[in-house]
Structure 1
Amino acid sequence: MDGYIQQCDKLAHLGSTQGNESFNKLVASKAPKAYHFSGSANLNYRVAACVAQKNIGQKYVMAVRNA
């Protein structure tokens, strides 16, 4: 435990990976690895949709449609 106690300042500021895991799950739902999307721009659109959904929420669909 002494090693951990000496490095407590470094260990106390560990960030949560929950946001990253949530985004990875979102991308996996829109672009599953079982299908090949990287051969065209399709993957870029799917990942962009994931970014928009993560940042804006589900209302991104209406924002894109209106634009």
Structure 2
Amino acid sequence: MSNNKSFWYVVRQEDGTCEVVESDWERAKTPEKSDHKSQWGSFNNEQEAIAKKIGLIRGGKCQPK
């Protein structure tokens, strides 16, 4: 049986804005992280990731678009 579960992350872009991105199970085990990006997650659904993004904007960690 294949596990096609997706996870959601909030990733800060180089311009300071944050993006909500989806990742499948295999990629979630080893999330991609580069030196210039911050990443929060994993979240079980997009709504949780969006709520986190709003909190990061209010907390000054991300810029609004």
TM-score, normalization: structure 2?
A: 0.31
Higher helix share: 1
Larger Rg: 1
Higher strand share: 2
TM-score, normalization: structure 1?
A: 0.30
